[in-house]
Each structure stands twice: as C-alpha cells, then as structure tokens.
A and B are shown apart, each in its own frame.
Chain A
Amino acid sequence: MATLATETFPIEQFLAQEREKDLLRFSTAGSVDDGKSTLIGRLLYDTQSVYEDQVRCIRGKGSTAPGQIDFALLTDGLRAEREQGITIDVACRYFSTARRKFIIADTPGH
C-alpha cells in the first residue's frame, strides 16, 4: 500500500466514515478440522488485517503444502494449538471493511 501524504489526509472525513460503521460480532461453528480457523485466517489476510511480521512468523510452518501459508496459524495463537494443529480455546480477532467492523470469535471444533 502506498504511504499516504500525511499533509493532505482528511482526518475529519475519515473519522466521519468510521463513525458510520456498524460493529458486527460473529463466531465460527463446525466440526473439528472443518477449516474454521483457516477461513478466518484467510479473511484476516484478505482484508489486510494482519501485518507482515505476523505473516512472516507463520511462513513455512503448519500443515499446508510447502510454500503455502497455513492461515489457521494466524488465529491459533497458543503454542499447543500450533503444535497439534487444532483450536483449543476461543480467539477473538478483529478486521474491518469499508462498511463494517467485525469481531470474530474463532471457536474450537465441536
């Protein structure tokens, strides 16, 4: 993403847009290994809600084919989860789009 020219950044306009945004809270539900965490990780990645250093941390790890990011590792934040490849406890993650802010609870399979 290009760096914004800060002198021209229309802060009040930006904040007004932000104030119009709804907040939606939702959670995943599904059986073990259905791909819930992978989907959430992908959503975070595609909405640019994860930072480069966080992606760097998980590259080359996890259960996916070489060269592919295991997106579940973005939400499976505990060491035991990353080692076992399962979600053990709920993780709350945040992302936003142009219209809405989201709080996602990624749950363990059940």
Chain B
Amino acid sequence: MNPAIYNPSSTVSRSTPTMTFGAARTPAGCRLSHLQLLEAQSIHILREVASEFERPVMLYSIGKDSSVMLRLAQKAFYPGPIPFPLLHIDTGFKFREMLTFRDEVARSIGAELLVWRNEPAIRAGTNPIKLDTKRCCGLLKTQALLDGLRHYSFDAAFGGARRDEEKSRAKERIYSFRDSTGQWDPKNQRPELWNLYNGRIHPGETIRVFPLSNWTEMDVWQYIHEENIPVVDLYFAKERPMYVRGDVLLPIEQEFMALPGEKPQMVKCRLRSLGCSPCTGAIRSNAETIPDIIAELISFRSSERANRVIDHDQEGSMEIKKREGYF
C-alpha cells in the first residue's frame, strides 16, 4: 500500500475522537493522550472552517507541518475527499525533491493541487543575492500568496504554522483575521475563547487558520511516527554536497549562491525545516530515521528556525512579514 494513502485501520489512534479540546470534557474512562487531544482539536478546527466558509483552501508547503495538516484533513472528512483544494506557493527556489514529493502526494491521495507563482518577479530574476532576503520573500512569498488567494477568491486559508516556532507566532489566534489587503494587526486581534471561533468577515477580508497552533515540533514528529506519514527525504541525514561556511551548510541547488571558486563538499546532513534552498541551511546530523530525529530533537539546543536566514534579517522580522501578509 502506498503509505501516503490514509487508511484508518493502519494508524495508532484508531478512532477519530470527536470531543472538543480540554481534558475536563473527556468522559470518564476515556483518556486521550496529549497527541490525541491535539488531533481532536485540529480536526474540530478543520471541520468548523469547512462548514463556515465559502471557499477555504489549504496552503500546502510540503514540509513536515503541512504533511501533518494534510493527514488531519484526510481524517477530518474521511471517508469523503478533502473538501477544499491545496495551494502551493512556489517561489521557484524550492528543492527539486520537494516538488516531486508534492506532486506524488497530491496524486496519491486524489487532492486538487493548485500552484501559484509570482511569474513576473521570477522572470525578472528575483533572488536573495540580487535583492535582500526581505524583499525577495516579499515578492516571491507574500505577494504570490496574496495574489493567489485573491485570484481564486479564497476566504479562508489553512496554514501549518505553529505557535512554538517563533515569538510573534506565539501571539497568533487560531483564526487569524486579515483585512482586505491581507495584513495582520497584532494589536487588534479578536477574542478567542475556548473552542469558539469567530469567522465573521466582510467581503474582501479573509482569515488564516492555524489548526496546528498548539503543536510543538516534538508533537509533529511523534505524530508523523505514530501515523506513518510520509515526509520529504531531505529531513533524513544523508551524504549531500554542500557549500561549507563555518557552521553553515548551504545546499548547492542554486549556482548563484556559490562564492567565487567555492567547491561543494560531501557532508552528512539533513534539513530541519524546509524553505527556499538559498535561505535554508542544513545541519550536520546522523538521524536517518524518524526515531533518530526524535532522539536528536531531545538533545537540540537551537530552534528549528535558527537555520532560516529570513528570520534573522532584522529585529522582529517574522512579525513584520506577518503584518505584510505572510502567514
């Protein structure tokens, strides 16, 4: 069987718990593990949005969080199909393995996959060396995302962002309200009590929805392990050619990243978080399996976004990107 095809009998948590989040509501004798609670909360959110909004879409970024979110969407509507399309914002700098994986996953689960690119910017040769990373992200990610959402008139977009990833993301609601220009105003967020989500919007306004808000990186890997969810091979350690600059391992995907005369070296490494190849560093690692990754995670002293150049280009850079419409 193709592991990408969700089959409920093959998974560890056999039933889909339908109760809402919070141990207090668990009926006597029915104890959910924390992963099952997180799963139940996420499924509740996915169903709420699917029933409340006209045109939801799932932003599918191919990484581990998206892979978990996709599995949750399959579970939420099983045995029916996922009732919304997947949208991938392709910057043109995604790893080749990611794109192959994306198409294979969409095909194997029968999901509708949309891809949006900021073609004018890509044709103009936008890259993080020519521009700075901030403007490059602004064009290839944020602008592309806003244009793609507007093009299809989506009113709700699921994203796999987690609050534990970054300090400004810790400030997000699960339903993150965006004005008609797609912007986030962190000082003017709606109350969100327990599992009550306010989905009221005017025409042109949208919400971003984060079903994995309460998941940590550890939860995500445990769930991938327990549910046998396929993930891109780049997460696993292998000998790969890299430009080595001190502690930084830079993938050789894009030639313009090489310094004059720089030669790649073979290094056993893996990626902890998948982004655009020019701005995502690898880490030295021997973790070849998911249990290895979980073991490695326990020993980590740096955050998963430490190797993302774009988070460090200025003070509060994620917050600024989010305000501009990034997710």
Contacts and interface: CB of A to CB of B under 8 A. Distances in A.
Interface of A: 1-4, 6, 9, 11, 14-15, 18-25, 51-54, 74-75, 77-80, 82, 88-94, 101, 103
Contact of A77 (B168, B213, B303, B306): B168
Contacts of A79: 315-316, 319
Interface string B279-318: 0000000110001101110111111001000000001100
Contacts of A91: 163, 167, 170-171
Q: Interface majority SS on A: helix, strand, loop or mixed?
A: mixed
Contacts of B164: 93-94
B297 to A, nearest CB: 10
B187 A80 contact: yes
24 contacts: A1-B301, A3-B296, A3-B299, A4-B296, A4-B299, A6-B292, A9-B292, A9-B294, A14-B294, A15-B222, A18-B33, A19-B33, A21-B34, A22-B23, A23-B23, A23-B34, A24-B23, A51-B301, A51-B306, A53-B302, A80-B186, A89-B187, A90-B171, A91-B171
A25 B319 contact: no
A11 B170 contact: no
Interface residues of B, number: 40
Contacts of A92: 163, 170, 213-214
Contacts of B226: 15
B265 interface: no
A96 to B, nearest CB: 8
Given A6-B286, A92-B214, A77 B23 contact: no
A22 B171 contact: no
Contacts, number: 103
A6 B294 CA distance: 9
Contacts of A24: 23
Given A2-B299, A90-B171, 5 more contacts: A19-B35, A22-B34, A77-B170, A82-B316, A91-B170
Nearest to A92: B163
Given A15-B226, A21-B34, A91-B170, A54 B303 contact: yes
A11 B35 contact: no
B22 interface: yes
Contacts of B37: 23
A94 B214 contact: yes
B299 A75 contact: no
B167 A52 contact: no
B303 A53 contact: yes
B19 to A, nearest CB: 13
B286 A75 contact: no
A89 B296 CA distance: 33
A100 to B, nearest CB: 9
A3 B299 CA distance: 5
